Structure 1
């Protein structure tokens, strides 16, 4: 791993934090600027849509004002031309009632003039002049994303129309006069609305705003130009906008690519006098002016951030040096302490309060370390002397007891077996108890002798070639056969016959005796003891299983400790020194192996593995 200095690491960390914060602030700034600009653009386009709607309705009202000023008795054609209308009709009250014009019927019902947008049928258009009919005949163009249609030509019209009542001298309504202008290809209308809403404003030689009127989903009047510079008459609105505006009657607002540029657009439904949606009013605001404004603000923001980051990096470099310098002195001091100069003191002053306190604490620690080292040396010498005395005592006592016990056991067995004369049943029972206790003491003395060897580090491995089953396990099983018989235990030795290993025979016998003895002592009466083995490469695994009380997980950690015995009910009746498994573990590990326990539902398996050595 590549190492870096504290100063470099601090500087890099500070710069990383600065850059991370700068990036976050930049993203936040970009988001805020974009949201603000987009919000302003969207608000503006909605305001423009309201203005366009107001201008459109004003056109209808202007027709009404012209009708109200004119004299209904004058020649109808003269009036039409004077009012600059595409059509003008005068009908009696009876004709009005029988007709299908909803605006005229509204006048009959209310007795007052009304105006609205109205669809003009093909039959009604037939009665108008040829110039008007030509304007309503619009070829429908294929438009991407528009809804499917089988129509090829639009042969109906849409008009802004107004109607007023005609009254006699007595004030009675005798008829209705109504007239209007066809919107289809009436470019003066959309240009006038555009002029009212947007003025003549342009941005980089491009119009800031555009206006379109749709009949159903077909553009019938617009100042949106195609790539060829022609008005985009006959193109259609997208299916998504159509569903939102015409079918659901909602106002749509979003950005859209209009011919050559992106625009912020808004669409709202155009309704007739009966509140049916017959078309769409659209306005679009050029997005380029807002994106340029956003880009300029963002550029200024980035420049400010870069300057702030550069200043922060310079301050970080200075700060990293002021922090790392005292720590460098401390590092030098720790290296000197590690080499044995425990009393070394830091003399350099730190300007940072925490580092100054750290240096003071370090000096205090150095002094205490020196004092503690001296105390430890004294304690170590005392411990070594005590441990030497302890090991000598264990070895001496165990050795002396071994000789005495050998003589006592021999005499006790001679008395029990009748070699020194016949004894009665009660005497034999007492002698049996004595021999059992002497056997236990002999085993305990052997364990203390082995413990003494282990503690002294004298556990030498003298490997010889032997058979695992015949030379180790079978003799060990024979040693404890009386316990198996008394507890009616079933013993199964499934270890492979004539399987040669190279180990210390005496030490491996201690391992086998400890494990098999524990299986016999702690196993249930009428239970099973199973010995199995497995070879994996150059390693041998031996398992000693007995039916018994499963060892809990917490108790497993204590199993192989010195002088440790499990707190189980059998502890009251089974004698033990707490050394057997500890010695077993040391012997197995000395053979390059390991030992562990695996509890099952009905008992425990003690498993040890070691190098075969052959």
Structure 2
């Protein structure tokens, strides 16, 4: 599995990684959560409004059914009342020419029985709140067909049979305008409703709606012998019945039932025309004569569905419910509507969403603040340790991490690092003091030897070196013991941190790797000290090496530094004699000389590499030498005097061991390392002389089975 690509801005700093870990969930998860909540609240709010309007429609429909029941039961009560039976009996005793005239006829209307009947019907109509209550004479009792009176009762007798029953519930019927005017002329003013052009309505050419929607109950009236003497018709005209529709609206939407200033409305439709409504077309004008939208008409009248959704009503959006109304034959002849203005609820919903958004923003801000504080407690100690190591590398030996508030593994690691730096600094001072003391002793002993005998000069040099090695060996062993223990503690804590954090250590893997490299660097410094102090224990395998090839291989390893400092390389490699040396140690010496030359030319220049064969005296062992020439500032006498001393350096970031260790490696195989200025004065020259047959120290020689000395390896 390929690792995920880390952006450069994250890879450069653990601070950025921790901030990304802390803030990315807030920037991604919280907006998604807000979006999900918005979507859910929007759907839930719509469902709540639809549930509300469905309940409102149930209340309105229940009241409409109650109206049908009241009209039917009231008419039935009158038809079966003792008073009506008595009035009918009086009319049966009257001459047969009396035919229940109403609203004027060609026969006198001053007959007392007829007046009593009319007065009875008028009083009952007013008591029941009906728009009309009329009596139709039955032709089966008289045995003849009555004339068509002004009331058109014969036409009512031709209504469908199911409209005449026991009268427990009235029926909803459509009557032609002429028939209603004959039945109740005083209701004619509520007909002829002009059709108002309405947005989204089905196109029509009709100018007016003149049909009558009537709640009608037709009950038989029996005489004293139990025969059907007539039929009693009672009903209520729904066209422009404002009291009826306002009463429904008060029942469904009483004052204060709708919050946020919303307004409830109710409407009765004859097909798709509003014949009575409290929806306003203008400020004081009701929207009677306007029509329903084509979409609602198709759903309710054409398919018989109940509409529960938003709908544009006249001039605004309402949460609406439409229910089809059926006549006596089961045909859909109109609709019952209730609804309430959506805009106040919409603004309230937007306000609630805004409040939720502000709450989430506040939560995100607080979470971000706490996340940043917690992240700071992690990356601050790491940054302090990293800055401390850089200051130490730049030569500030007194640099320390200092107190760290954290009490976790990072705090312990910072404390161990300070302890380690204290140990290193103390041992370094001791080492320098011992080195100065050793230099004084060597100088004193040198003066004594020079005064006594020149022949002992070589023995003196060997003794000086032996004492240096012995002192440094003792000091190095002490340093290795003192430093390796805190190094082990630091390495153990790093391993424990990785094991404890597990996958969560991924964001700080680069910083932990940096600590590993610094620990390894300290371990390498100790190893190099031991390598120089105990050369026989670290002597490598000796091979016959091509000095030209070893130089070329080393050049490859410093190629990036050459490009970085824009340094030209001139090679003059003519050595033919193989040299006896360990390959890795020879490369270490050559690379160290090249790096010193590169650092002497920070602004660029020319690096010249020269190899030649050489022989000290005729008959002596042959060899080859390598010169590394730079164009730097050269070597002053003071620098040349201490150039190969341990811990002497002219660079801020060096430790002064490179040339010292290189000298020890070259002398281990009988060679020499020389340094001087170029004859033209344009830089320095470092020369490595190696033999074809090395002079291996006695301690490193191993005896073969026949007693001859052999090489290691």
CA distance in 2, matches of 1:22, 1:319: 19
In structure 2, the residue matched to 1:252 is: 307
Shift of the 144–297 alpha-carbon distance from structure 1 to 2, 3 Å rule, reads closer
Structure 1 residue 31 displacement after superposition = 4.0
Residues 1:86 and 2:131 are matched in the alignment: yes
Question: For residues 267 and 80 of structure 1, do their structure 2 counterparts lie closer, same or farther at Cα, with a shift above 3 Å needed?
Answer: farther
**2:74 matched to 1:66?**
yes
Of the three residues 156, 161, 180, the one matched with 1:105 is: 161
2: distance between equivalents of 1:376 and 1:153? Answer: 112
Q: Which among 118, 130, 150 is matched to residue 205 of structure 2?
A: 150
Distance 1:23 1:454, change over 3 A: closer
Residue 300 of structure 1, CA deviation: 4.7
Q: Per-residue deviation at 1:39?
A: 2.8
Q: State the alpha-carbon separation in 1 of the partners of residues 554 and 156 from structure 2.
A: 122
Residues 292 and 313, structure 2, Cα contact 8 Å, conserved in 1: no
How many residue pairs align between the two structures?
403
Pairing 1:338-349 to 2, within 5 Å after superposition: 349=404
Q: CA deviation at 1:171?
A: 4.5
Which stretch of the first structure deviates more once superposed, 242-251 or 180-189?
Answer: 180-189
Query: 2:379 is matched with which residue?
Result: 324
**Is structure 2 residue 241 aligned with structure 1 residue 195?**
no
User: Per the alignment, do residues 339 and 452 of structure 1 end up closer, same or farther by CA in structure 2, a change over 3 Å counting?
Assistant: closer
Give the drift of 1:387: 9.6
TM-score (norm 1): 0.55
Determine the C-alpha separation between the residues in 1 that align with 2:168 and 2:372.
82
**Match runs of 1:529-540 below 5 Å:** none
1:27 to partner: Cα distance: 3.6
- What CA distance in whole angstroms lies between the structure 2 residues aligned with 1:58 and 1:201? 24
- What is the CA distance between 1:297 and its match in structure 2? 4.1
- Cα distance in 2, alignment partners of residues 371 and 8 from structure 1: 31
CA distance in structure 2 between the aligned counterparts of 1:391 and 1:174, rounded to whole angstroms: 143
Matches within 5 A, 1:334-483: 335=390, 349=404, 351=406, 353=408, 355-356=410-411, 360-361=493-494, 366-372=518-524, 389-391=544-546
Counterpart secondary structure, 1:351: coil
CA apart distance, 1:263: 2.2
> Are the structure 2 counterparts of residues 388 and 132 from structure 1 closer, same or farther at C-alpha, using a change threshold of 3 Å?
farther
> 1:131-185, CA deviations, whole angstroms, 9 ceiling, x for partnerless residues?
4233221111211111122222212111111222323445555543222122111
| Aligned-partner Cα distance in 2 for 1:27–1:309 | 14
Picking from 18, 27, 30, the partner of 2:26 is 18
- State how far apart, in whole Å, the 2-side matches of 1:99 and 1:389 are: 136
Name the structure 2 match of 1:140.
Answer: 195
2:91 paired with 1:47: no
Given the superposition, is the C-alpha separation of residues 454 and 355 from structure 1 closer, same or farther in structure 2, using an over 3 Å criterion? Answer: closer
Alignment of 1:423-572 (within 5 A): none
**Equivalent pair of 1:136/1:154 in contact (CA under 8 Å):** yes
Could you tell me which of 219, 225, 231 is aligned with 1:176? 231
The structure with the larger Rg is: 2
**What is the alpha-carbon distance in structure 2 between the residues aligned to residue 300 and residue 312 of structure 1?**
18
1:307-362 deviation per Cα after TM superposition (whole angstroms, max 9, x unaligned): 434433432332232122111023225546877999x9967657264545776325
In 2 relative to 1, CA 197–318 (structure 1 residues): closer, same or farther, beyond 3 Å?
Answer: same
Provide, for residues 77-109 of structure 1, a one-character-per-residue CA deviation record: whole Å limited to 9, x for no partner. 54553314334342527599996779761255x
Kept in 2: contact 1:345–1:366 (CA 8 A)? no
Partner Cα separation in structure 2 for residue 358 and residue 205 of structure 1: 63
> 2: CA distance between counterparts of 1:317 and 1:205?
42
Q: Tell me how far 1:372 sits from its aligned partner.
A: 4.5
CA shift, 1:268, in A, is 0.7
How far apart are 1:28 and its partner, in Å? 4.2
**Cα separation, 1, equivalents of 2:379 and 2:387:** 12
- The separation in 1 between residues aligned to 2:158 and 2:303, in whole angstroms, is 23
The reply to whether residue 161 of structure 1 matches residue 202 of structure 2 is no
- Equivalent residue of 2:183, what SS? coil
Write the distance in 1 (CA, Å) between the matches of 2:300 and 2:153: 33
Say what the alpha-carbon RMSD is for the aligned residues: 4.6
Q: For each residue in 1:428-485, what CA deviation from the matched residue of structure 2 results, as whole angstroms up to 9, or x when unmatched? A: xxxxxxxxxxxxxxxxxxxxxxx99987989999xxxxxxxxxxxxxxxxxxxxxxxx
Measured at CA, do residues 201 and 163 of structure 1 come closer, stay the same or move farther in structure 2, by a change above 3 Å?
A: farther
Query: How far apart are residue 195 of structure 1 and its match?
Result: 1.4
Secondary structure in 2 matching 1:165: strand
Structure 1 residues 210-289: aligned runs within 5 Å: 210-259=265-314, 261-289=316-344
Distance 1:132 1:41 in 2: 38
Cα distance, 1:120 vs structure 2: 0.8
> How far off its partner does 1:10 sit?
4.5
| Aligned counterpart, 2:503 | none
Q: Could you list the per-position Cα deviations for residues 19-67 of structure 1 after superposition, in whole angstroms to 9, with x for gaps in the alignment?
A: 5554444444444444444333222211111111111122222222321
- Could you tell me how far apart the structure 2 residues matched to 1:331 and 1:172 are? 116
- Would the alpha carbon gap of residues 456 and 348 (structure 1) be closer, same or farther in structure 2, given more than 3 Å must change? closer
- CA distance in 2: counterparts of 1:372 and 1:93, whole angstroms: 130
Q: Secondary structure at the match of 2:265?
A: strand
**Structure 2: gaps spanning 5 or more residues:** 1-7, 88-113, 146-151, 415-492, 495-511, 557-568, 572-713
Distance (Å, rounded) in 2 between the aligned partners of 1:180 and 1:271:
16
CA distance in 1, matches of 2:75, 2:308: 36
Q: Distance in 2 between matches of 1:91 and 1:24?
A: 77
